[in-house]
Amino acid sequence: MNIFIGIDDSRQLDGFKAGETASLLAQAIEDNGWGKSKIPSRHRLHTHPDIGYKKHNTARSFSADIEEQYLEALIEYACAMIKSNVAPGSNTGLAIVIPERMADPDDLITYAYRVKEGFVGKDESLKLAKMPGIYLFELSGNGRGIIGALAGAGLRFTGNDGQFRGKLKLSNEEYYIATVKEIIEKTYVEQVKNMDFGNLDDNEYVRMGEKVKVVLLDHLYTLMVFPTDIEHPKWQTSTTHMLRMF
């Protein structure tokens, strides 16, 4: 059974951050023999004075294939782990989505992009949670974290939103130049695309920038690049500013 888990801990000033929590939960699913997890992603959401956030408004999400019999144990574990690590003043929410149980997953996608692009109230999240296949948990504060948590799960479900934690590094050499084939063979990257969303061939060369980030596109771990306007290498990894759409 494929599930999508979203976590939002608005105003988390101390204790675990959502990214760390998501990584620990993804690992716990595998350590407990409940299933297999994908790498958690970070999703940018709309910023607004009424939304609790520190610097940016983001949520974390990942997908996992689990045995249906372990769903209840996973929910209990996730709620307990998150509650034990929240800081005072945080508004933490957890969302677990099972698309195969939903009558119309497009409702979730529409909601997720609305949260990414504008202000959405908690009532709308709770209304959506009445649908089969959506589970929401208000774990601290005023419970507004469920808004971003559900949006994060929905954005991950699209397969075309989110950045992954950490920086991709192939070599200690500054501005290392690698072929697409080498990048895919030596890292978790599954495809390399230009900013027009065209795929690069295996034998094309890419200069690795100072801060290399991987994004989710076509449900694949994707490295985005842009032209260097020189003959060799023809491509360079996209900057963080270029990747803000994810």
DSSP readout, 48-74?
-TTS--SSS-EEEEEEEEE-GGGHHHH
d(CA 37, CA 209): 29
Q: Using CA atoms in the order 45, 48, 50, 52, what is the torsion angle rounded to 10 degrees?
A: 50
pLDDT confidence tier of residue 39, bands split at 50, 70 and 90: very high
Whether 200 and 181 have beta carbons less than 8 Å apart is answered as no
Of 105, 197, 195, 93, which Cα lies nearest the Cα of 158?
105
Provide mean pLDDT across the span 158-187. 93
The answer, yes or no, to whether residue 133 has pLDDT greater than 50, is: yes
Average pLDDT estimate for 94-111: 96
pLDDT at residue 172, rounded to an integer: 84
- Asked if residue 51 has pLDDT above 60, the reply is no
Q: What average pLDDT does the chain have?
A: 91
pTM (2 decimals)?
0.92
With H, G, I as helix, E, B as strand and everything else as coil, classify residue 97.
Answer: strand
What's the pLDDT at 245? 85
Q: Please name the residue ranges forming H helices in 47-139.
A: 71-85, 106-117, 122-128
Percent of the chain with pLDDT over 90: 75
What pLDDT score was predicted for residue 14?
Answer: 42
Give the DSSP H or E segment for 29.
helix 18-31
